[in-house]
Structure 1
Amino acid sequence: MSLLIRSYSRFGLFGVGLGLLLCCLSLFHPTDAISAEAGRLVEKDGRYVFVESMDPAMKLLLERAVKQGTITQEEYDGAVRASQERAYLLQPSFRAWYDRGFNFSMNDNAFLLKIRARFAARFTQRYRNDAYRDSGDSKNFPELLGVFGDYRANRSIDQSSTFNLRTARLYFMGHLFNPDFKYYIQLAGETAENAQAPGALSVLDMNVTSTHLPWMNVQIGQYKVYFNRSQINSTASMQFASRALVMDAFTASGINRRDVGLTIMNDEEVYPINYYLGVFNGVGPLVNRFAQFNSEEATVGCPGGATGGNPFPSPAGCPTNTRNLNANLRTNVNELMYVARLQANLMGRPGYGEGDLAYSESPQMAVGGGYAYNPSIDTSSNNAFVGIDLANLHVRRSLAALGNGRMLGQGVVDFSTWTLDYVFKYRGFSLQGEYWYRNVTRHSKGLPCMQTAVVGGPCTVFAPQEFGNSTGWTVQSGYYLIPRKVEVAARYAWWDPDTRSGGDLIKQVDVSLNWFLSGTYDHQIMLTYSNIAMGQDGFAIGRSAPLPAVGATFPSGTVPLDSRAGTLIENAVRIQYQIFF
């Protein structure tokens, strides 16, 4: 009551209302009220803004009342606490806003969901030389057909004009329970530029990551293997419409840039030196080692034949060969791929995105290196008799899709791959380079067999040489003519798919003009010119002479592609529009 009288004497009727409010608040708030903050940080349009819990006008009146002695400090503190508690109880437990994606937060940020989408449409105009029409490419990017995986040369006419939905992605990301337990899901419904069939919706990424310990983050699920710079980087932040061919060939597994496994690493934003240690299936996304098997007879240890026989002598005690549809053997299912990467941020933090879109005011530089060991990859029968090897084609088709087709027909092999990379960025200028080397170790020693005298007889013709190793490198540079808006970039790539063969080098030159409409990678138009010269010399099992003679065993006929082989030359212009929202 005394509060009401003092309020009336100093503020009139308004003071009575103020006094009533304070009385009600003091009655409402429990005596053991918890201490509260004066406000909270609220995310708005990508910025954190401090917002007072109490209406500023009301708070001003209360502060003046304290100074004038109308109310006590204790009454003021109680009113503030009650106001804060009331605001907290009345605020919704669900929030939704847009900030580079649709964001949904629940239970006071215990759960966060961000939904994004990326779309890239591309027009490609290609001009190819006559060698593509004559012999085509049967060695680096062969097509595999039928249940036996017969090889077919990839041929085309001199010109092609195509529209392509190159990227169609849907992203779901956020955290569960607290911000240190993150999840990430990426779906894709696109088609490759050379696809011969419509694409289907597939899961590219699905993983969770614990960041509770900055020095040891743990990621598990399906995701890009942390191996080399060009593969870790997303296609959303590139300087060219496509990666160079050599970049795709030297993934950690040799099969796909993604895999299923587990990685431990430290926080890239906290430490200047970053490490990554991972273990994976080693055969690509959504599959495991059971995707590989060898054709056998129902009798253990006896090889299978395609139509009624095997071109090689059968072990003692084996029955007459019958179709290899009868049985198969899952081998090497106890093998895993191991990957390690180390990166040092020597100046700043250049990140993995290509180009200096941020227009760095200070130099940004990093060096990195990685090693991957992927054992026991079944590249198909260690001979030219493709027809005897009825097996799952996933691994073989994946090798061919990345340009590693020359490895096919080498039997079971181990991949050991090394990489080094470098990046420098400063005031719109960027320079990036990578080097790769892959050692290919065959389990079967000696030269692969190309022909036998009779079915089941000894080998009479062997391959002219063993398959070697693979190596390659690339360097690219760019500069922003208009900061954060217009960039020009150039790239050169060199690749030797078989170090024991000559005339098989692949060289690529790219030049790109990029326009970033919103000053970010999220909205861009890209014009890229590419020149590719692909050597077709050297030997490839099942696609080069000598091939099995007609009638000797299970041939598809002699196809002397080597007699017409030459350098395949392609000039292509790609116009790509991308929006990421």
Structure 2
Amino acid sequence: MKQQTAVVLAGFLAVMAVGHDVQAKSLEDILKEKGVITEAEFKEASKAKPYDYKLGKGFVLTSPDQKFQLQIGGQIQAQYEFDDYDLASKQDVSQFNLRRVKTLLSGYAFTKDLTYKATYNWANVVKENTKAMEEVNLKYRVADELQIMLGQEKIQYSRQWITSNTAQQFVDGSFVRNAFMQGYDTGINLHGDLWSGVVKYDAGLFGGAGQNTKNKTNDNAYNFRVAVNPLGDMKYGEGDLEYSEKPLVSLGSSYYLNTLRKTVSGTGTTATSAIDNNNSNFVTDTNGWLGKAVKGKYFGTAAAEEISVDSWEADFAFKWLGASMQGEYFWGKAEGDISDKELIARGGYLQAGYFVIPKRLELALRYAWMDPNRAISNDSISEIQGAVNYFLYGNNLKIQGDVGNRHTYKDKTDDLVARAQVQLLF
């Protein structure tokens, strides 16, 4: 059955990949290429118009005085997934899914230094309504070295999480990233690009309760990140779609600190412990490194226990002439003040890709591993995945597919997951 699924997926990708590469060009581009207008005339004609369209950014509306601008775009990821489980007690699944359906609003007001963003994921209205509203914030640029964000954004932790899901080599991020990342939160973040992007930093103070959730305690979350790009600025995007003519390297590290409160519902043996009023990904995700332990009563069932959380990660990325590699190592520690329990979780992934046809066809491979609790033996999970990506209009229109085998050491099971996805960004 697993081989049949892989064949079907490969066939699906081959059919979907048939298409013509006709890149839309503006009238100004055509006239410049034919030598009808000069470079200076091209720049003058390309100045902000009352309304315009930019591929990948959407429709652009600009006021006559150019003090206000609104970009309206969207994203659709239509996905097929097949899950073939080893355990007879688990039902195999064959499903079509709208993974992400987003409305993207952004622009500037009064000055180009004051920008705003609002992202709404319609796919979450049905399955996870509390996570439908994603990035909603204001940013003010004092200088390249100091920019201030107010509102809700991605916690700048984990290279793969910071990278847009539209610019990733696999249909979705690694399960290890999902287990350790915090997700979105509301607060203030200071960001800066030093020496033309050679060094980037973030320092944030957040509510600590996660996406679209108000904090009910006096404890907040702190996040810090630094990335060094010794060979020049390296944008967040997986794979070398740009076919970099010179090698690019990035080294980064992030740290997250928070204190969470535990609550208990039910009585006696039916009591279930949970984190009070928290919508952070590492708590709510099915394999979240902390949430899984709390739900499993690792910290006991005492109510109002405070759990101190420290989480750290280190990452690297490399690109050159269509080849790419990146990896991350995660480490998380949680301590309960009543149960005196300590939880240490670890994990990481390494992935590499190569464009066998530059800017068109990419192959990628990823290995991921996680130990959700160092105190418990034989509870690790590992996964190996292979992916193929076909780009029709860069990341704006591409077809992706991946097949992976996830091994659970405790149950000694191997589960196959095959996915295919078409992405449209406009």
Which ranges in structure 1 are unaligned for 5 or more consecutive residues? 1-41, 55-92, 134-155, 291-332, 447-465, 537-565
Q: Supply the distance in 1 between the matched residues of 2:43 and 2:86 (Cα, whole angstroms).
A: 71
- Residues 1:249 and 2:179 aligned together: yes
- Residues 1:375 and 2:259 aligned together: yes
Q: Supply the distance in 2 between the matched residues of 1:505 and 1:260 (Cα, whole angstroms).
A: 33
Distance of aligned partners of 1:482 and 1:237 in 2 relative to their CA distance in 1, 3 Å threshold: same
Q: Deviations over 1:436-492 (max 9, x none)?
A: 11111111144xxxxxxxxxxxxxxxxxxx453101111000000000000000000
Q: Supply the distance in 2 between the matched residues of 1:115 and 1:200 (Cα, whole angstroms).
A: 23
Distance of aligned partners of 1:250 and 1:103 in 2 relative to their CA distance in 1, 3 Å threshold: same
Distance of aligned partners of 1:396 and 1:199 in 2 relative to their CA distance in 1, 3 Å threshold: closer
- Residues 1:525 and 2:391 aligned together: no
How far apart are residue 398 of structure 1 and its match?
A: 6.7
Matched with 1:322 is none
Distance of aligned partners of 1:400 and 1:385 in 2 relative to their CA distance in 1, 3 Å threshold: farther
Q: Larger relative contact order (C-alpha < 8 A, sep ≥ 6)?
A: 2
Matched with 2:166 is 236
Distance of aligned partners of 1:53 and 1:480 in 2 relative to their CA distance in 1, 3 Å threshold: closer
User: What amino acid sits opposite 2:418 in the alignment?
Assistant: V
- Residues 1:497 and 2:381 aligned together: no
Match runs of 1:267-282 below 5 Å:
267=193, 270-282=196-208
Matched with 1:104 is 61
Aligned partner (choices 201, 215, 239) of residue 145 of structure 2: 215
Matched with 2:6 is none
Matched with 1:418 is 312
Matched with 1:580 is 425
User: What amino acid sits opposite 2:211 in the alignment?
Assistant: P
Matched with 1:430 is 324
Which ranges in structure 2 are unaligned for 5 or more consecutive residues? 1-25, 33-37, 300-304
* 3-state SS of 2:111 partner: coil
Distance of aligned partners of 1:475 and 1:380 in 2 relative to their CA distance in 1, 3 Å threshold: farther
How far apart are residue 580 of structure 1 and its match?
A: 0.4
User: What amino acid sits opposite 1:355 in the alignment?
Assistant: G
How far apart are residue 51 of structure 1 and its match?
A: 3.7
TM-score in terms of structure 2 length = 0.82
Aligned partner (choices 509, 512, 515) of residue 390 of structure 2: 515
Q: Whose Rg is larger?
A: 1
Is contact 2:131–2:212 with CA below 8 Å preserved after alignment?
Answer: no
User: What amino acid sits opposite 2:425 in the alignment?
Assistant: F
User: What amino acid sits opposite 1:187 in the alignment?
Assistant: Y
User: What amino acid sits opposite 2:330 in the alignment?
Assistant: W
Aligned residues: 381
* 3-state SS of 2:178 partner: helix
Matched with 2:70 is 113
Matched with 1:452 is none
Aligned partner (choices 155, 159, 162) of residue 95 of structure 2: 162
* 3-state SS of 2:293 partner: helix
Matched with 1:567 is 412
Is contact 1:421–1:432 with CA below 8 Å preserved after alignment?
Answer: yes
Matched with 2:293 is 406
Aligned partner (choices 209, 212, 216) of residue 286 of structure 1: 212
Match runs of 1:44-443 below 5 Å:
50-51=40-41, 95-100=50-55, 101-130=58-87, 133=89, 156-157=90-91, 159-191=92-124, 197=127, 202-251=132-181, 253=182, 257-267=183-193, 270-290=196-216, 333-378=217-262, 380=264, 385-387=269-271, 395=279, 399-404=283-288, 405-408=292-295, 409=297, 410=299, 411-443=305-337
Aligned partner (choices 473, 482, 486) of residue 357 of structure 2: 482
Distance of aligned partners of 1:529 and 1:199 in 2 relative to their CA distance in 1, 3 Å threshold: farther
Is contact 2:221–2:258 with CA below 8 Å preserved after alignment?
Answer: yes
User: What amino acid sits opposite 1:526 in the alignment?
Assistant: Q
How far apart are residue 435 of structure 1 and its match?
A: 0.5
Distance of aligned partners of 1:184 and 1:406 in 2 relative to their CA distance in 1, 3 Å threshold: same
How far apart are residue 189 of structure 1 and its match?
A: 0.9
TM-score in terms of structure 1 length = 0.61
User: What amino acid sits opposite 2:51 in the alignment?
Assistant: A
Q: Deviations over 1:346-397 (max 9, x none)?
A: 1122211100000000001010111110113426479974538699665599
Matched with 2:17 is none
User: What amino acid sits opposite 1:97 in the alignment?
Assistant: D
Is contact 1:226–1:341 with CA below 8 Å preserved after alignment?
Answer: yes
Is contact 1:379–1:396 with CA below 8 Å preserved after alignment?
Answer: no
Is contact 2:178–2:281 with CA below 8 Å preserved after alignment?
Answer: no
Query: Which shows bigger deviation, 399-408 or 223-232?
Result: 399-408
Is contact 1:164–1:191 with CA below 8 Å preserved after alignment?
Answer: no
Distance of aligned partners of 1:180 and 1:357 in 2 relative to their CA distance in 1, 3 Å threshold: same
